[in-house]
Structure 1
Amino acid sequence: MANARTQFDALASALQQHSEATQGLLAGRACLSFEGEAFLVLYRENVAFRLAGSALTQALALAGASSFDPMKPDDRNAIAPGWVLVPVAHWPSWEHYAQEAMRCVRLAHTQNLSWQVPPPPPDPVDAVPPSSAQSLSDRAAAAMKSGFGFDLKQDV
């Protein structure tokens, strides 16, 4: 397996050829940015991505991945919204997350984008059990007996 720097350089080269990404430094670390906003940072043998929505949730679910602050990378309590550090063990998925990060930062320039981890979907509501034949029959008989809710003397 190639080292993280080699993988980062390959990602950087591809993104710079096919998008408006530029390579630079963020707090002394190699990064890629779009219109001055970093979205990918090399940190030791890992890469941090700035993601939103389901991509952020998926990246945080990877084994060893964690929230990250590129300005305070050694402070595990410091968290910058949207940033996730993905270990080198997941380098095959780095290209996917790099493209997602580029998409997210582009989108953030044209609309309000939340960098917060989205809330989990609500728990499924227990479905109402299907009616039995007897209960349907009882309800139909009660409806017919009541005139289907109409006062037949007044409606005629």
Structure 2
Amino acid sequence: MLESVHSFFSVSLVNHHKFVDTQRKLGLQPSERVQLSNTRACQLRSLNAVLDNFPGIIECLSTINTPMAVGLKAKLALLSVTACLHRYLQKETIDLSQTVTYKDAVIDSLKEKCSDATAADLHTRTKALCEANQIAVPEPSSGQRRKTKQMDGFVV
């Protein structure tokens, strides 16, 4: 995901300029995203660069209406849930009870995102996006799921 964010803003000069303009508009310190590497230090620098620029990245992705931008924004929404815990765990001294509190908050937030209401909202937004772009949306069948007959007669 971090590599995708880096590529999205560095491959396209238009997207890069939009990101720089968004940083300036939000009053963020202009900085570049760090390309991902296999070393832990570079991975941490890349993650911290995304976290430091998170408001600018989300704002910029919101103004770019491409499938790639929409997908990245959705993936980064999950990163925003865990960002506080990540930053806390990077401190030199941490309190175990506070860590458990942060962990529980992250778990609760993720469970909330896995609700039927969230799924219905996502389905509605996806359907509207498909209709706006003339993409056929198959309706789910209301009947029971059909059992595949490939393994009939075999004991598994």
Q: Could you say whether these structures have the same fold, taking a TM-score greater than 0.5 normalized by the shorter chain as the test?
A: no
The structure that has the greater radius of gyration is 1
Q: TM-score, normalised by structure 1?
A: 0.23
TM-score (norm 2): 0.23
From the two aligned structures, give the one with the greater strand fraction.
1
Q: Return the structure number with greater helix share.
A: 2
